[in-house]
Structure 1
Amino acid sequence: MPTRDDAFNLLKQYNTDALITHGLAVESAMRHFAKKFGEDEEKWGIVGLLHDLDYEQFPDEHCYKTQEIMTPLGYSDEIIRAIMSHAYGMCTDIEPLSPMEKTLYAVDELTGLITACALVRPSKSVMDLEVKSVKKKFKQKSFAAGASREVITKGAEMLDMELGDLIQEVILAMRNNATVLGLDIK
């Protein structure tokens, strides 16, 4: 299996700053949940890192181009299926079934919302961000409108978690990598 460094280099080959940072945010959340669930942090992290590998260059072929790129590089069917399942109901009909797939589905859009919430704070940081602030912005449909509230809610349900608990866990995950994500206190 390709390493995390291989995955990061692949991400940089196909993407620019915004999607690289998003990949790093989702990787942080996936590693956090892998640890919490007693799963393989490296594998879950790679899934998070590469989930939007093809989106910048091939938005109309999202997920399918990723499969085409990753298969000859030795990525497992499990990793590729997890990545494809994160776009369930949007670009693919591959339903998230495993804990890894459900987690990716749940955290992808939420990391974007949390990033947006952090960036509008005076500190521009996730370090002092609270669940109640995210929940307040969650209700404002025009705020970070690209972050699907429906997907976030459905993801929490898939994980059998309360929305507030999911938000809290993803905030904690992103705090662990705040400097790399550009969300540390300035």
Structure 2
Amino acid sequence: MIKKAGRKKVIELLKTLDGERKEKQENLLFKALFKSPEWTSAKTVALTMSQTLEINTTAIIEKAWTEKKVVVMPRTKKNREMDFVVYTHKTPIELSSFGLREPASDLRPIQKSEIDLIVVPGVAYCKSGFRIGFGGGYYDRFLADYKGKTISLVLDEQQIEPFEVETFDIPVDRLITTKS
């Protein structure tokens, strides 16, 4: 399957996903994440501010804060690159040029090596850990030389097989599904 077609197919499925079904799946995914060795050993966790179709990250952020983990959030930059900054209740938020909520552009980024775990967002996933994102390639660029752990939380509707993998695609270390 071509990525563009896979992205479109899964986005359409997610748009029609019943809210109660999505919430039940999310709760299963959260429980598995919080029990994972990647989560329990991480001191600094990278997460996004979820959009409507994505896994709701609010509960993950709050759990991280409860466990005294440092939460970092991405900011998009020129040349399809991104960096991460520490995110707290007081972090000022701006809208990016894509309409995404991101930490303010004047905040100091942290070093990539300071991030223990990245919960990588995506639209669709295959069992081998490759993902289809929203099409910008930001995460693949960031992950190319990232040495920490990566996990993605995958709703049933986001699992598709197979799709084309390109040379620049970086697989996620571990997919957490409702069946894992």
TM-score w.r.t. structure 1 length?
A: 0.35
User: If each structure's helix is expressed as a fraction of its own residues, which one has the higher value?
Assistant: 1
Scaled by the length of structure 2, what TM-score is found? 0.36
Q: Tell which has more relative contact order, 1 or 2 (C-alpha 8 A, sep 6+).
A: 2
